[in-house]
Structure 1
Amino acid sequence: MPTIHELATQAKAAADRLGIRKFDIYGSAVDETSVKVDQGKPDQVKASQRSSVTVRVWNEENTMGITSTTDVDPNGLELALKTAYEASFFGVKENVPDFSPEATVPLAKLITEKAPQAPVADLLEKLIGVEKELVEAHPAIASVPYNGLAQRDIDHFYLNSEGASRTEGYSLSSIYLYGKTEEEGKKPRSASAFRISRNLEELDIDGCLKETLEKTVSHLNYEKIPTGKYRVVFSPEAFLSLLGAFSNLFNAQSILDKQSLSTPESVGTQIASPLLSVCDDALHPENVAISTFDGEGTPTRKVPLITEGVLSGFLHSAGTAKRFNAQPTGNANIGAKVTVSPHFYHVFAGQFTDQDYSLDTADNVVLIDDLHALHSGVQALQGSFSLPFDGWLIHQGKRTSIESATVAGDFLELLKSIIYVEKEAHLTPGGVCPYIWVDELSVTGE
């Protein structure tokens, strides 16, 4: 792919030839290698280079057209500009997207160096070794049917006709393991773990292996759970997946589209226990997929969403910020329609409580490790959910795997029923979060 300077020069020259005065371009490129193994042999090896460029053009009537392409040579760029210009005459007349007022504001200075990619043979050797170690660690573990080790180089850029020019690049490595048991007379049980880091050397492969082993073995001796109301503890992954399913709470575009549990007047209202605080923080030091600007070139930042239980802000694009008379937050994705999405959640304790809770001494408490079927079990506009889960029933600190069960409730009531936010935070792919204790939720056994 050409450099950002070359792209800007080529785009300006093509725009001048076409008589286009106002345009912007956002692009990304991913160079990825991933491997999967099956019973000690390579099962799948993938290598791909993907790039995408989105071009927006405004005409003399200030309506906008948009197109996307993977062809960024001068001819491809000129064709994209021409196509977007022609489309602009069919663009919306109201609330037309515009340049972000912060597209030229200096970015946060972060050191994000790319790591050298390891040979495929090394990836396969590591993953085969991990699979072998996991299967041999316990006689009940029969296989690791789903697994993967991947490394990626990612680049983003943004430029516009008013002189904005931004680029960033970083590397990621990740591993996923899913162990499955087979015992005579018992149902197959399974568990998984995931790790991500900025390079393969720092990737916690041993930690992923250990977590998968411990979780899988802990599900071997399972029992049915009586249907009823239980105090529930959500793992960081489970709580963040539920928070993500109801992210319309903080999404300014969803609010404007009337597809949210919030309204413009909701800011400042108490929506959760004072013990809970939540931010979206793309620049969090634990975020390995760090992004310093969004699809409109707006710098990313720490955005308070819930502060001690109070709804304190929304996620904005340049367009939603203008309509809310607010500042853009760096959460825009450009496409046929500008959308808004979170980067990296940071969940932490708001107010502190004198009461401490511990899983080591908990009694008659359900610990939810992983939620399933969020695509079908969440009613995001009603605020309700009914989801199958993997987890344990804890009696006097002893964990017993739950054979099969569903947890149900109202998300806003859940937020207000939080009785404890543990102090220790845990890194997950979606953010940083501690274990979250909820006073009571309905659990339906098999």
Structure 2
Amino acid sequence: MLNISELAAIAQDKAQQLGIHKFDLSGSTVDDASVQVDQGAPKQVKASNRSSVTVRVWNEAHQVGIASTTDVDALGLEVALKTAQEASAFGITEHAPDFSPEAKVALPDSPNEIVPQAPISDLLERLCQAEHRVLEAHPAIVGVPYNSLSQRDVERFYVHSEGALRHEAQSISTIYLYSKTEQEGKKPRSAGAFRMSRQLETLDVEGCLQETIDKTISHLDYQKIPTGKYTVVFSPEAFLSLLGAFSNLFNAQSILDKQSLSTPDSLGTQIASPLLSVADDMLHPANVGQSLFDGEGTPTRRVSLIENGILKNFLHSAGTAKRMNAQPTGHANMGSKITVGPHFYHVSQGEPGQQSYSLAEAENVVLVDDLQALHAGVKSLQGSFSLPFDGWVVNGGDRISVESATVAGDFREVLKSILYVEPEVHLTPSGVCPYIWVEGLSVTGE
């Protein structure tokens, strides 16, 4: 495990030798092992150990220079500090970044749980078994072309010249399965599932393969869907995909850059149905990848973004918070520049709805399970989207797979047209979220 005190001492010593009075370091080390299989045989085995450190140096004129290195040793830090020192002469003078005012605030005790990694042979055996069970589940399933089982140890740290010292470590195991079918006279169909856990022994492999099988089989008997307006139910994964695509709504840096659907005056306005509440909560108990601090050393926390449809907060770095007279929220990412990004969404019911709905009783409702081509079908600064999707038409509890279709609309109107937010939340890689019912969305069939 990384000795953060020794790293800080080396950096301080090298900075003094170079005449540097103000600096900080933000970085991580990752020990990663993963396997992929194909028809019961190993397809790819990868292992890596890599480090990344971003160094910032302030000169006497309060300009900042930035450099990066992959060497977490005395020589690597010295070169990075010297390079950043030289680059500071070209640093900006307007809205120059500074230390986070919360970089030295006490953090909760971190367990720093690094779990010993299992042998590669164990990963291959488990993944081969999972692939075999998916292939045996139905004659039409001919392959699992995309699959992976991995385990990763991650250590993160932040240090600055005025005494901030942050360090955390954790292990994460993941499995991903994505199947493919072939039937004479029919189009290939696919489906996938993903699971994460803090260690391999508690990873829900069974749930992942069963979800893959169930979804794949449900897509075999597909039909065309007439073009028109439908009540659309977004799965947790689909709704969070849309929310992530339009995250500029909450991003303070995007707002300051005028690259957002919001403005500084948007706070306190009704942007969604009162039925919806949204928070960003890195410390949510279900979040396997919890982190106690961001790239600037600011403690992470739960930030309420939408309460009963009203926009309550933006996501901030130390710099955006200073410019907008707010507090940093622990969402800064350190790189060649400071960026702001969400961590882990928690979508929930807002005000109680006047009526509840159920897929078991729904009539002519489109259930969107997975949105595709978000890189091409989203116009994030206009609010519009038109996206192919995998899903079903639901009638009285019966689900008929949609052959090929797109769902389109304006995300701001989607938020305001929410008909129902189901009470039960489901865990996804990007957050926890219930099924979201939206009225009157355009669906275009093939």
TM-score category (smaller protein): over 0.9
Return the letter of the residue paired with 2:358: S
Q: Does the alignment pair 1:144 with 2:144?
A: yes
Q: Distance in 1 between matches of 2:57 and 2:102?
A: 19
Counterpart in the other structure of 2:22: 22
Counterpart in the other structure of 1:249: 249
Deviations 1:213-239 (A, max 9, x none): 000000000000000000000000000
Q: Does the alignment pair 1:120 with 2:120?
A: yes
Counterpart in the other structure of 1:390: 390
Counterpart in the other structure of 1:350: 350
Deviations 1:330-359 (A, max 9, x none): 000111211000110000001111311111
Counterpart in the other structure of 2:79: 79
Aligned residue pairs, count: 446
Counterpart in the other structure of 1:403: 403
Q: Distance in 2 between matches of 1:129 and 1:231?
A: 40
Q: Describe the SS at the equivalent of 1:89.
A: helix
CA contact (8 A) 2:100 2:298 kept: yes
Counterpart in the other structure of 2:441: 441
Deviations 1:223-261 (A, max 9, x none): 000000000000000000100000000000000000000
Counterpart in the other structure of 1:292: 292
Root mean square deviation, CA, Å: 0.8
Return the letter of the residue paired with 2:214: E
Deviations 1:242-284 (A, max 9, x none): 0000000000000000000000000000000001000000000
Return the letter of the residue paired with 2:91: G
Deviation at 1:78, TM superposition (A): 1.1
Counterpart in the other structure of 2:205: 205
Deviations 1:282-318 (A, max 9, x none): 0000000001000000000000000110000000000
Counterpart in the other structure of 2:270: 270
Return the letter of the residue paired with 2:202: E
Return the letter of the residue paired with 1:85: Q
Q: How do 1:94-109 and structure 2 match up within 5 A?
A: 94-109=94-109
Q: Distance in 2 between matches of 1:111 and 1:71?
A: 26
With normalisation by structure 2, the TM-score equals 0.99
Q: How do 1:11-410 and structure 2 match up within 5 A?
A: 11-410=11-410
Q: Which runs of 5+ in 2 are unaligned?
A: none
Return the letter of the residue paired with 1:166: R
Deviation at 1:107, TM superposition (A): 1.0
Q: Distance in 1 between matches of 2:112 and 2:341?
A: 22
Q: Describe the SS at the equivalent of 1:209.
A: helix
CA contact (8 A) 2:384 2:411 kept: yes
Return the letter of the residue paired with 1:57: V
Counterpart in the other structure of 1:417: 417
CA contact (8 A) 2:268 2:310 kept: yes
Deviations 1:58-117 (A, max 9, x none): 000000000000112212211111110110010001000000000000113343412211
Q: Does the alignment pair 1:4 with 2:9?
A: no
Return the letter of the residue paired with 1:35: V
Deviations 1:139-176 (A, max 9, x none): 11111111110100001000000000000000100100
- Return 332-341 or 108-117, whichever deviates more: 108-117
Q: Distance in 2 between matches of 1:72 and 1:174?
A: 27
- Return 2-11 or 42-51, whichever deviates more: 2-11
Return the letter of the residue paired with 2:362: A
Q: Describe the SS at the equivalent of 2:15.
A: helix
Counterpart in the other structure of 2:430: 430
Q: Describe the SS at the equivalent of 2:202.
A: coil
Q: Distance in 2 between matches of 1:322 and 1:221?
A: 56
Q: Describe the SS at the equivalent of 2:132.
A: helix
Q: Distance in 2 between matches of 1:49 and 1:444?
A: 47
Return the letter of the residue paired with 1:162: E
Q: Distance in 2 between matches of 1:241 and 1:255?
A: 21
Deviations 1:316-335 (A, max 9, x none): 00000000100000000111
Deviation at 1:395, TM superposition (A): 1.4
Moved over 6 A (4+): none
- Return 346-355 or 430-439, whichever deviates more: 346-355
Q: Distance in 2 between matches of 1:379 and 1:358?
A: 32
CA contact (8 A) 2:419 2:438 kept: yes
Q: Name the % identity.
A: 70
Deviations 1:404-430 (A, max 9, x none): 000000000000000111111100000
Q: Distance in 1 between matches of 2:108 and 2:367?
A: 39
Return the letter of the residue paired with 2:290: I
Q: Which runs of 5+ in 1 are unaligned?
A: none
Q: Describe the SS at the equivalent of 1:171.
A: strand
CA contact (8 A) 2:182 2:189 kept: yes
Q: Describe the SS at the equivalent of 1:111.
A: coil
CA contact (8 A) 2:281 2:344 kept: yes
Q: Describe the SS at the equivalent of 2:200.
A: coil
Deviation at 1:396, TM superposition (A): 1.7
Q: Distance in 2 between matches of 1:73 and 1:224?
A: 60
Q: Describe the SS at the equivalent of 1:201.
A: helix
